[in-house]
Structure 1
Amino acid sequence: MNRTSFARASFLHRATFCRTVHTIKNGRNRKISKDGVPPSPSPPWSSVLLRLVRNNNVEEARRVLEGILPFADAQHYTIVIDAYSRAGRLREALRLFSEMPAARDLACWNSMMKGCLNCGHLPLARHLFDQMPERNTISWTTMLDGLARAGRIAEAEELFLEMPQRDIVAWNSMIFGYCRNGRAPEACALFDNMPNRNVISWTAMIGGLDLNGQSEAALRLFQQMHAAGEKPTSSTFASLLTACSNVPNASVGAQAHSLAAKLGYPHDAYVSASLISFYAACNQVDDAQRAFSENGRKTVVTWTALLTGYSSNGRHREALRLLKRMTLAGMRPNQSTFTSALNSCCKLEALDEGKVVHGGVIKVGLDLDVFVGNSLIVAYSKCGEIDDARMVFDNMPNRNLVSWNSAIAGYSQNGRGRSALEVYRDMQAAQVRPDEITYVGLLTACSHSGLLEEGRRLFRLLNQDTSLEPKLEHYVSMVDLLCRTGNFGEAEELIKSMPLEPNAAVWLALLSSCRAHSETETAIRAAQHIFDLDPQNSAAYVLLSNVYASARRWNEVSETRTAMRRSGTAKTPGFSWIMLKGARHVFACGERSHPMAKEIYQKLDWLAAKLKTCGYEPELGSALHDVDDEQKDAALGVHSERLAIAFALLSTVEGSVIRVMKNLRVCGDCHSAVKLMSRILGRQIVLRDPSRFHHFNDGSCSCGDYW
């Protein structure tokens, strides 16, 4: 029905309604039946009410119901009660249910109970179920499904066993419940004992096994289903292809694609999206693109599947371009779309693009969505804009554990340890229980800010919490904190007492701080442990060589480098980069191949002169070569981050923030030099290394020199 026809129909119904009500009220033209009861008014009011609620005209439906009160029956009330429930207006639905003069039939009781469950009021639904004068299979199954969805699987089991009659829907609901609550063995046992199965039973079990990490078993079950002659539905194919993605199994997925095409399902939105996701999971992005292009009826689900596929395969520019195409095509992105797009912004360190995506989020009204909010917090944090991340966090009307963890991790990454602890205190006040990820963020924040006592206290709390189990990441963070603050003996004792087998990362945390504290013997012991675990660990060779160089043990430096070459291990080359107008400009130490190399080195000379005027003295210990001091000074002056900063001075607006990324840890000399640069230039410089962000401003760094 087009808009004009619908408007005319609505007008006619309202006119008929008004005439009928007027006739009823004034007692005119009423025909009386033989038993003295007036006939039901015309037109059929169930159809009128259904049409109104389908077009979201709930209030008008309520007025119609009130107007036909002498003749309204339970069916009429059920239509309006159900509409209120679907709109989340449970209070109005309950009031109408309690006040209805007509006798409540079974359908009305079931509808009200289902409404309570849909609105998240399980106790009220259970109360209604217990009060029902009679029940049918729908009543039992509705309550069973509600308990299972709420995770109250033991109560669902009891209800299932109490059912006087169990139809196939009840059996399927119980299978769904078991799978949804991580009880795959019980689901399998129930499936095996079913007196009858339908395609929903098979699909539930296939999807349930995959959900519980048994994707291979899900694929085998589909083969059994096919052998049994059961025809799969679009939901079956969606579940099967998801399992193929999780394995991944390209062969079975291709066969599923062929069978889906034979049965006419590839143009189904969810099958198409599952196909796209499957090919992306198998790193076959071109095939994912082909599956997208072949689907003539593109939906937000298929667009999002392709965008996520691009993002998960490192094709982030294409992901962001696809988001633009999607919006130009008039498609409204959803939470998953924006989450994947923001992930691509993070990987590209593309702050400007991230802000554009944030604008799109606001435009479609998803800025208050908790999942999108979490992604925005992560995106801004990973681009060094922690204040914007905090603004998003503060504006979220609802937060989950991921929200709190993202805020804590964001402050940790940006060197704001005390702010991370403040968020943790707010989290405790909100009575949100921390998990293992929370403690990783907190211990890392303490490590990056030198908060030794607070870190020790948190580590004790973690070990005292019987619901949590310390992981290797927690020990890495704690060892790092102890070493950064000079407590090497305590760090070694902690490693020895670990209930877990220490891995290379734990020993690297010990080794990486040895040079700054002249702990040569500790470094040798830590390096040996790493070589025992990973003989080709390039970071261990480089760190040990640096420790020897700081101690001026040049023979050992030479021996370490020789051993590194013999092991076939290559040193990771250091480089820095800066994003400018969507282009990535990369610089290596002493880089002279850049088109603006001449201007960059002139700017470096100017900066060097300004630094000396301000009393800068190079930390020659950071130049780890057996050469004279003049050569060391020259080598330090052309480190990659300094080249990137010089390029930024030539290419960006005066007063804007300079953002530099670096693949290796910033050396002590560059850290001191960039602090002074921020004062000389009057500009904020944000430098990110693999561990964290350094925010340089007016001669100081956010890390407090605990880098």
Structure 2
Amino acid sequence: MLLFSSLAKSIFHTNTFSCIAIRNSRIFSFTTATNGFPSTSSISTNPFTIIKSHKHILFHYLNNRTLDQARAFFDQIPSPHVSLYTIMLHAYASNHRLHEAIHLFRQIPFKDVVSWNSMIKGCLHCGDIVTARKLFDEMPHRTVVSWTTLVDGLLRLGVVEEAEALFWAMDPMDRDVAAWNAMIHGYCGNGRVDDALRLFRQMPSKDVISWSSIINGLDHNGESEQALVVFRDMVASGVCPSSVGLVCGLSAAAKILAFHVGIQIHCSALKLGDWRFDEFVSASLVTFYSCCKQMESACWVFCEALCKNVVVWTALLTGYGFNDKHLEALEVFREMMRIGVIPNESSFTSALNSCCGLEDLERGKVIHAEVVKMGLESGGYVGGSLVVMYSKCGYVSDAVSVFKGINEKSVVSWNTVIVGCAQHGCGMWVLAFFNQMLRQRVDPDGITLTGLLSACSRSGMLQKARCIFRYFGQERSVTLTIEHYASMVDVLGRCGELEEAEALVMSMPMKANLMVWLALLSACRKHSNLDVAERAANRIFEMEPDCSAAYVLLSNLYASSSRWAEVALIRKKMKHNGIVKQPGSSWLTLKGQKHKFLSADRSHPLTGKIYQKLEWLGVKLKELGYVPDEQFALHDVETEQKEEMLSYHSERLAIAFALLSTVEGSTITVMKNLRVCGDCHSAIKLMSHIVDREIVVRDSSRFHHFKNGICSCGDYW
């Protein structure tokens, strides 16, 4: 039942249908009773009551998103008050029906300044700067609100110079603090923080909004340290910070890990009043302590908060994830769902990020189901997180399916699917998405280029990589960084073009860093090029004498060439310098529990059955003609020992355990911290054929999908 307090009369009733009609400035209620005979009763003759009643009815239609019905009712009103026109103008502009708003505006017999301002604001909301400026120039009388509305709108649309000219064209006597605040906010919103700070210092008088605006603007533009300086100035000048100011100060302290400053802001919040009633201050405190790795303090703040809405819950959830406490994060998410706190997009994104951290597909699917129930799957924010989750858990087809369902795809959305497909070596998919991205006029950025080069590297598409690198080098909107050069070196190196890769390193416009030389050294390991490898290794040791990755790559290269004297020398040097090689490990997650294996590991409770399964697989492998590749046994031992060492690599133990612990026919997904060796790669291909199951292995380079004796990488990785 819909009630209007001014009418004290039901519009809709179980047994009667009522409507409102206007005749000779009087409101009548026409009621069709249950006997079918109409009756009328006069309600009011007060014009203010009439206008108020009309507003109630218009707002009822508009709140229920029935704009056309609202217009139909409006058209029945004889001589509508100008305030009713203004309501309709705002509704049309909010729905981007600007042409109808302008047509209606021209029909207003007596326009007041509010209707003029509303129409100007509507034009700016719809991006029509020309009409907004034309209306402003036509105004018979402008107030400071008129000037500020136009200035603020122009700044929001990025027309900074015109906004500046208008601001300074205002009568200085009319230029109030709201106008100054609008300019400061607009400067910050357009990245012109120096101009914002200069204008802030020129202000004849400042209110708490002025201080909060400049602090927030500096923080959002990467000037968090300066933001805290301004915050201290605000307190020193005797201005009592609002809750917004406290939130801005805490945000800046969190970003630069200014722990002691954040503590001082927390103390200020305690002095100013009971912060526990303000959910945004509570959430900011939780975030601040989480960023400073003080989760106990974050939990204390959360428990003390008296208003725990979704913002506060999400702050705690995100904080746990930020501190790699993903199980605790998902427990927070489960608890907020249990007590009826409805998650928002940030909540779902943080929960899905924790699923990625745990590589827990099952939990991710449960959260995906909740996302679908709330209708958020097609949003770019949550949709992108789902794409990342499925990609990182080994299910690239599901990631692509989710991506296709996203309604408005930003450059972030496109980058997410491009990078995800690149991790799986789906080079042709990546190029197809890039072409679609360009056709839809979405401008690529540096992350797009990194994803494209990564895909070319993992798919062996050398010529495509050269064209893409050249194309982006000519694009002024994208600046080539050292990460891009490292990616291109990786492409050339993996494709065997080691001399060209080395030449690119030497001709770079910036000095090559560790990442670039390691990319070249890794390629030398793949193609057994000792000359280039030794030059690259020497460059690395000049920059970082104790780089364990370089020692290991060079040692493995010598070992694969049976140069055991050099291997012994490198290992002796590593031992002398205390350099420890990262041990190879593999793991998988089953029913929320992570199972980790090292090479020749015998610590697992099912060790006996795991080794029995490996022996059975070994027999089957030999029946199919498998012969161990001894060049991947990187120790100078007897042949029999080399075969045994290869047979018990960590990924094989993980696969054997998965065969024992999962449903027959299901996909096995194993993660590995190092690059899978060539011998294991050959063996796992055959294993997928023997057990008739898909085996997905993610190593440090990419995802491998083994099925029916074939790997998705085409033996190129």
- 1:499-533: CA deviation from partner (whole Å, max 9, x where unpaired): 11111111111111223322112211111111111
**Which of 46, 49, 66 pairs up with 1:43?**
49
Contact 1:97 1:112 in 2 (8 A): yes
Measure, in 1, the Cα distance between the counterparts of 2:475 and 2:264. Answer: 48
Contact 1:310 1:319 in 2 (8 A): yes
Measure, in 2, the Cα distance between the counterparts of 1:461 and 1:19. Answer: 66
2:82 is equivalent to residue 81 of structure 1: no
**Which of 288, 292, 296 pairs up with 1:278?**
288
CA gap 1:121/1:569 in 2 versus in 1, 3 angstroms: farther
C-alpha displacement of 1:10:
6.5
Per the alignment, in what secondary structure is the counterpart of residue 242 of structure 1?
helix
CA gap 1:352/1:16 in 2 versus in 1, 3 angstroms: closer
Contact 1:218 1:243 in 2 (8 A): yes
> Which residue number in structure 1 is paired with residue 33 of structure 2?
none
Contact 1:535 1:567 in 2 (8 A): no
Report which stretch shifted further, 413-422 or 106-115. Answer: 106-115
> Which residue number in structure 1 is paired with residue 40 of structure 2?
none
How does 1:472-487 map onto structure 2 within 5 Å? 472-487=482-497
Measure, in 1, the Cα distance between the counterparts of 2:615 and 2:28. Answer: 101
Per the alignment, in what secondary structure is the counterpart of residue 673 of structure 1?
helix
Per the alignment, in what secondary structure is the counterpart of residue 22 of structure 2?
helix
C-alpha displacement of 1:322:
1.3
For 1:45, the aligned partner's letter is I
**Which of 138, 161, 172 pairs up with 2:168?**
161
How does 1:50-199 map onto structure 2 within 5 Å? 50=56, 53=59, 56-57=63-64, 59=66, 62=71, 64-70=73-79, 72-86=80-94, 90=98, 93-100=101-108, 102-164=109-171, 165-199=174-208
For 1:213, the aligned partner's letter is G
C-alpha displacement of 1:451:
0.6
Measure, in 1, the Cα distance between the counterparts of 2:27 and 2:268. Answer: 66
2:332 is equivalent to residue 322 of structure 1: yes
What TM-score comes out, normalization by structure 1 length?
Answer: 0.93
- Structure 1 unaligned segments of length 5 or more: list them: 29-37
Measure, in 2, the Cα distance between the counterparts of 1:329 and 1:42. Answer: 46
C-alpha displacement of 1:20:
5.7
C-alpha displacement of 1:685:
0.6
- 1:571-625: CA deviation from partner (whole Å, max 9, x where unpaired): 1011100110000000110011111001001100111111111111111101011
2:220 is equivalent to residue 211 of structure 1: yes
CA gap 1:18/1:608 in 2 versus in 1, 3 angstroms: closer
- 1:36-82: CA deviation from partner (whole Å, max 9, x where unpaired): xx976573423551476278156565455334323x21012213333
Contact 1:510 1:526 in 2 (8 A): yes
Measure, in 2, the Cα distance between the counterparts of 1:347 and 1:603. Answer: 29
Report which stretch shifted further, 592-601 or 425-434. Answer: 425-434
Per the alignment, in what secondary structure is the counterpart of residue 560 of structure 1?
helix
Measure, in 2, the Cα distance between the counterparts of 1:702 and 1:667. Answer: 16
2:206 is equivalent to residue 200 of structure 1: no
CA gap 1:213/1:124 in 2 versus in 1, 3 angstroms: same
> Which residue number in structure 2 is paired with residue 460 of structure 1?
470
> Which residue number in structure 2 is paired with residue 248 of structure 1?
257
Corresponding pairs, count: 694
For 2:84, the aligned partner's letter is H
Contact 2:3 2:10 in 1 (8 A): no
Report which stretch shifted further, 77-86 or 279-288. Answer: 77-86
What TM-score comes out, normalization by structure 2 length?
Answer: 0.92
Contact 1:308 1:319 in 2 (8 A): yes
CA gap 1:5/1:533 in 2 versus in 1, 3 angstroms: same
C-alpha displacement of 1:125:
3.4
For 2:74, the aligned partner's letter is L
Per the alignment, in what secondary structure is the counterpart of residue 701 of structure 2?
coil
> Which residue number in structure 2 is paired with residue 311 of structure 1?
321
Contact 1:675 1:701 in 2 (8 A): yes
C-alpha displacement of 1:550:
1.2
**Which of 694, 704, 709 pairs up with 1:684?**
694
**Which of 578, 581, 584 pairs up with 2:591?**
581
> Which residue number in structure 1 is paired with residue 619 of structure 2?
609
**Which of 626, 639, 647 pairs up with 1:629?**
639
> Which residue number in structure 2 is paired with residue 488 of structure 1?
498
CA gap 1:345/1:124 in 2 versus in 1, 3 angstroms: farther
C-alpha displacement of 1:130:
3.8
C-alpha displacement of 1:24:
5.6
> Which residue number in structure 1 is paired with residue 370 of structure 2?
360
For 2:152, the aligned partner's letter is D
2:689 is equivalent to residue 658 of structure 1: no
CA gap 1:344/1:150 in 2 versus in 1, 3 angstroms: same
Report which stretch shifted further, 651-660 or 423-432. Answer: 423-432
CA gap 1:459/1:302 in 2 versus in 1, 3 angstroms: same
C-alpha displacement of 1:664:
0.6
Query: Percent identity of the aligned residues?
Result: 50
> Which residue number in structure 2 is paired with residue 33 of structure 1?
none
Contact 1:58 1:83 in 2 (8 A): no
Per the alignment, in what secondary structure is the counterpart of residue 230 of structure 1?
coil
Contact 1:52 1:58 in 2 (8 A): no
Measure, in 1, the Cα distance between the counterparts of 2:500 and 2:643. Answer: 36
CA gap 1:98/1:381 in 2 versus in 1, 3 angstroms: farther
Measure, in 2, the Cα distance between the counterparts of 1:9 and 1:261. Answer: 47
Measure, in 1, the Cα distance between the counterparts of 2:130 and 2:309. Answer: 37
CA gap 1:356/1:6 in 2 versus in 1, 3 angstroms: farther
For 2:242, the aligned partner's letter is T
Per the alignment, in what secondary structure is the counterpart of residue 195 of structure 1?
coil
> Which residue number in structure 1 is paired with residue 422 of structure 2?
412
How does 1:542-557 map onto structure 2 within 5 Å? 542-557=552-567
- Structure 2 unaligned segments of length 5 or more: list them: 30-43
C-alpha displacement of 1:440:
0.8
Measure, in 2, the Cα distance between the counterparts of 1:600 and 1:200. Answer: 66
For 2:500, the aligned partner's letter is E
**Which of 276, 283, 287 pairs up with 2:297?**
287
For 1:450, the aligned partner's letter is G
Measure, in 1, the Cα distance between the counterparts of 2:27 and 2:696. Answer: 80
C-alpha displacement of 1:482:
1.3
C-alpha displacement of 1:151:
1.9
Per the alignment, in what secondary structure is the counterpart of residue 21 of structure 1?
strand
- 1:368-418: CA deviation from partner (whole Å, max 9, x where unpaired): 211112222112111111111111111122111111111111111001112
- 1:205-247: CA deviation from partner (whole Å, max 9, x where unpaired): 1111112222122112122111211111111111111111112
Contact 1:53 1:80 in 2 (8 A): no
For 1:76, the aligned partner's letter is L
CA gap 1:338/1:225 in 2 versus in 1, 3 angstroms: same
C-alpha displacement of 1:651:
0.4
